[in-house]
């Protein structure tokens, strides 16, 4: 069965960077893109960006451009999201979510369990 | 960026009643809209894609409709397990965006 297992909770100081991993299994990694979505405490969902696991192409949310980098390691079927220059506004649960189909962004049927990132001095 | 506006912010219904949730987009998006259900402490679950195609995990009391800029999620007879927050999301154009959510609560 399809599984996305994310790395554990992190506590970071303002200005630091964080890298969240998303290890996948149960399907061919390179055939489905990975999205990253975050949710601040008590708030809604915010789409952060997408990476093609086939060729590494990315699309990022404009407000995060320059601070976020999404990468993959095809040898371990793992996706990564790095966010730099952290502020308290980046405190959130970060999710990875797989595309529904091959070159098909029509919804995200599979999600990781979420990784809580807390930014605090 | 395409902005999604969901209404109402909170919808109070009794079990067995019908619930209608709205999602409006700032630009036409054909049928490139998904709906998600999220319960506290859980990841979102894909409920509807293509504006009206129900995911296999969900019962037929859930239905989606609409196109271009106006979309609706209908729960024909709300069950106790349906109380949650519902989000719409467009995948018509980058950046993909979510609505702010509608909380379905027990009346």
- How many other CB atoms sit within 10 Å of the CB of residue A109? 21
Q: Return mean pLDDT, chain B.
A: 97
pLDDT digit string (tens) for B46-74? 999 999 999 999 999 999 999 999 999 99
User: Cα(A57)–Cα(A51) distance, rounded to whole angstroms?
Assistant: 6
User: Cα(A80)–Cα(A71) distance, rounded to whole angstroms?
Assistant: 5
Contact A2, A26 (CB under 8 A): yes
Is the Cβ pair A113, B43 closer than 8 Å? yes
pLDDT surpasses 90 at B13: yes
- How many other CB atoms sit within 10 Å of the CB of residue B78? 20
pLDDT digit string (tens) for A91-108? 999 999 999 988 888 999
- Comparing CA positions, the residue from B99, B96, B75, B22 lying closest to residue A106 is B96
Q: What's the distance, Cα to Cα, between the start and end of chain B in Å?
A: 35
Is the Cβ pair B98, A44 closer than 8 Å? yes
Q: For residue A102, what pLDDT is reported?
A: 82
Q: For residue A101, what pLDDT is reported?
A: 86
Tens digits of pLDDT across chain A (121 residues): 999 999 999 999 999 999 999 999 999 999 999 999 999 999 999 999 999 999 999 999 999 999 999 999 999 999 999 999 999 999 999 999 999 988 888 999 999 999 999 999 9
From B1, B38, B50, residue closest to A62, measured CB to CB: B1
Six token digits for residue A53: 């696991």
User: Which residue does chain B place closest to A36, by CA atoms?
Assistant: B96
């Amino acid at each position: 069965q399809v599984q996305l297992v994310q790395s554990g909770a992190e506590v970071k100081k303002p200005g630091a960077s964080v890298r969240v991993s998303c290890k996948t299994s149960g399907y061919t990694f390179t055939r489905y893109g990975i999205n990253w979505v975050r949710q601040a405490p008590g708030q809604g969902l915010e789409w952060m960006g997408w990476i093609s696991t086939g060729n590494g192409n990315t699309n990022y949310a404009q407000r995060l451009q320059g601070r976020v980098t999404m990468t993959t390691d095809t040898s371990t079927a793992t996706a990564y999201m790095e966010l730099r220059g952290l502020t308290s506004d980046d405190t959130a649960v970060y999710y990875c979510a797989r595309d529904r189909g091959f070159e098909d962004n029509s919804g995200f049927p599979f999600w990781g369990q979420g990784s809580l990132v807390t930014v605090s001095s | 960026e395409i902005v999604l506006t969901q209404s109402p912010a909170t919808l109070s219904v009794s079990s067995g009643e019908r619930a209608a949730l709205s999602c409006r987009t700032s630009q036409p998006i054909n049928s490139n809209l998904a709906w998600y259900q999220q319960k506290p402490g859980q990841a979102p679950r894909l409920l509807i894609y293509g504006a009206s195609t129900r995911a296999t995990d969900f019962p037929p009391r859930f239905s989606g409709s609409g196109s271009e800029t106006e979309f609706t999620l209908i729960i024909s007879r709300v069950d106790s397990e349906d109380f949650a927050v519902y989000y719409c999301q467009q995948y018509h154009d980058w950046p993909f965006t979510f609505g702010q959510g509608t909380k379905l609560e027990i009346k």
